[in-house]
């Protein structure tokens, strides 16, 4: 129980670090929640501030997910995949509902990727590559994010079967489901034909 609580706290606090907000403040003293989608993830940074700022935000969001699981894996519970899963989920929740900015945040895609790549690097890189390919093909970041996330979740379920460890399946279902639900408004705009394409600047 103590390990689970510690992993949840570490994951949530690290996940809560509002990388996109910090980057936006440093670059142009901009409140990212007042621009574009109002989210703090790399996509809104890209639309608001451009590629350089977005790359830094992406790296920060990725690293906080990765560090959450690495700390759980090597310092809290080296042999307990359930504890790693708790840290991963907490990091994604922290990113989306940040303790530091009034429980606002991003959709969790990059933080979830960073957390999950520790568990299954090859599988997550495959899902990420397919997601990026769909973004380039369709020009919709949300399409690549949602499809890549679903694929990542399915691959984690496959890993659970291969290793007879249900923690991986729950990891994929919970994180994947959380991220897909966080894209509900994007999915609605895609259906309505009003979703912004990659390269369109935020207002």
Mean confidence (pLDDT) of the chain: 93
Stretches where the chain sits below pLDDT 70 are: 199-203
Query: What pLDDT was estimated at residue 201?
Result: 61
Query: What pLDDT was estimated at residue 86?
Result: 97
| Angle CA 7–12–18, to nearest 5 | 145
For the chain, the residue count is: 203
* Alpha-helix runs per DSSP H in the chain: 2-16, 19-28, 42-49, 51-71, 81-96, 109-119, 121-138, 141-163, 166-182, 184-192
Query: What pLDDT was estimated at residue 198?
Result: 78
Q: Give the C-alpha separation, 199 to 203, whole Å.
A: 12
Domain ranges of the chain: 2-192
Query: What pLDDT was estimated at residue 121?
Result: 96
Q: Tell me if 83 sits within 8 A of 4, measured CB to CB.
A: yes
């Amino acid at each position: 129980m103590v390990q689970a609580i510690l992993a949840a706290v570490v994951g949530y606090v690290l996940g809560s670090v509002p990388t996109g907000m910090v980057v936006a403040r440093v670059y142009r003293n901009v409140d990212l929640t007042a621009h574009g989608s109002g989210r703090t993830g790399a996509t809104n940074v890209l639309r608001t501030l451009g590629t350089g700022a977005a790359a830094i935000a992406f790296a920060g969001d990725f690293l906080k997910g990765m560090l959450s699981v690495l700390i759980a894996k090597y310092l809290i519970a080296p042999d307990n995949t359930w504890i790693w899963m708790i840290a991963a989920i907490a990091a994604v929740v922290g990113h989306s509902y940040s303790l530091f900015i009034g429980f606002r945040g991003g959709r969790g895609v990059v933080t979830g990727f960073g957390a999950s790549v520790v568990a299954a690097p090859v599988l997550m890189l495959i899902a990420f590559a397919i997601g990026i390919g769909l973004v380039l093909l369709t020009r919709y970041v949300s399409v690549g994010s949602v499809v890549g996330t679903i694929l990542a979740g399915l691959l984690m379920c496959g890993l659970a079967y291969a290793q007879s460890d249900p923690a991986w399946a729950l990891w994929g279902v919970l994180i994947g489901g959380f991220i897909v639900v966080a894209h509900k408004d994007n999915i609605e705009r895609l259906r309505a034909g009003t979703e912004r394409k990659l390269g369109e600047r935020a207002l």
